[in-house]
Chains A and B, each alone.
Chain A
Amino acid sequence: AQKVTQAQTEISVVEKEDVTLDCVYETRDTTYYLFWYKQPPSGELVFLIRRNSFDEQNEISGRYSWNFQKSTSSFNFTITASQVVDSAVYFCALSDGNTGKLIFGQGTTLQVKP
C-alpha cells in the first residue's frame, strides 16, 4: 500500500535559519510522482514541485531545494534563509500509479518567527 510519512508535526525556526522538512514514502509502483504543496493560512494548496521516480536529480528554486533519494525513499524539502512568509503547512504527496490519486502525508506546520 502507498503511504507518505511526514514525521515532523510542527517546526519553529527564527527568520533566516535554514529548515528541512522530511518526507518518507512507501510504494510498490516503479513509476510514481512525488509532490510538495504549501498551504498558507488563506487555505489554498499551492503546488511547489513534482518529481518523477526516474529523476533523482536534486532541484533548487530560489530559496527552496529538494533532495530525492530512492535508496531511502525520501523526498526532503529545504528552505534556506527562511522568512516569515514561509509560515504554512507543507504537505508531501505521492501519486498513485494506477489512479493518479494523490496520497498526502499528514503535513508539517512550519512557523517562522521574526
Chain B
Amino acid sequence: DTEVTQTPKHLVMGMTNKKSLKCEQHMGHRAMYWYKQKAKKPPELMFVYSYEKLSINESVPSRFSPECPNSSLLNLHLHALQPEDSALYLCASSRPGTGLGELFFGEGSRLTVL
C-alpha cells in the first residue's frame, strides 16, 4: 500500500466547476509535489512545495491553484478547466534537498473534464 494517499481516485467535472484534489502523507516528508500525466506519457512536474512553501511552479496555468495547509497535506484547486486538462494527477513526497529524487507517489487522481 502506498503511503501517499490521494482523493478522490476519479473525478469528472464540467468546465465551469470548482473542485479540489487532496493528498496526504505521514512519513514526515517536507517536500511535496504535483505531477500531471497524460496517457502513455511520462509525468510532468507542476508544483513543488518545500517546507510548506511553493518552491517550483512550472508555468502552470492559473486555473490550477496549489495549496499546502501543513506539512502533511497538499491540495490542488481546480477551476475553469479545459478538456485537455484531463489526465492522471499524481502527488508525491520526499525529503527535501537536491538530487534525492526518491519520491513516494500516490496512486493518482484521474480527472476527466467534460
Interface residues of A (CB under 8 A from B): 31-33, 35, 37, 42-47, 50, 52, 91, 93, 95, 97-102, 104-107, 109
Kindly list chain B residues whose C-beta atoms are within 8 Å of the C-beta of A97: 98-99
Flag if B105 contacts A46 (CB, 8 Å).
yes
Flag if B107 contacts A47 (CB, 8 Å).
no
Kindly list chain B residues whose C-beta atoms are within 8 Å of the C-beta of A45: 43, 90, 92, 103, 105
CB distance from B60 to the nearest CB of A (A): 14
Which chain B residue has the least Cβ–Cβ distance from A35? B101
CA distance A101 to B110 in the complex (A): 23
If the complex has contacts A43-B107, A44-B106, A101-B56, are A33 and B99 also in contact, measured as CB distance less than 8 A? yes
| 1/0 contact string of B64-93 vs chain A (CB within 8 Å) | 000000000000000000000000101010
Which chain A residue has the least Cβ–Cβ distance from B98? A100
Which chain B residue has the least Cβ–Cβ distance from A98? B98
CA distance A52 to B90 in the complex (A): 25
User: Which of A45, A50, A101 has the most C-beta atoms of chain B within 10 angstroms of its own C-beta?
Assistant: A45
Flag if A47 contacts B103 (CB, 8 Å).
yes
CB distance from B109 to the nearest CB of A (A): 9
Kindly list chain B residues whose C-beta atoms are within 8 Å of the C-beta of A52: 99
Flag if B101 contacts A93 (CB, 8 Å).
yes
CA distance A97 to B101 in the complex (A): 11
CB distance from B36 to the nearest CB of A (A): 12
Kindly list chain B residues whose C-beta atoms are within 8 Å of the C-beta of A33: 99-101
Kindly list chain B residues whose C-beta atoms are within 8 Å of the C-beta of A102: 43, 45, 101, 103
Flag if A100 contacts B99 (CB, 8 Å).
yes
User: Which of B43, B48, B88, B101 has the most C-beta atoms of chain A within 10 angstroms of its own C-beta?
Assistant: B101
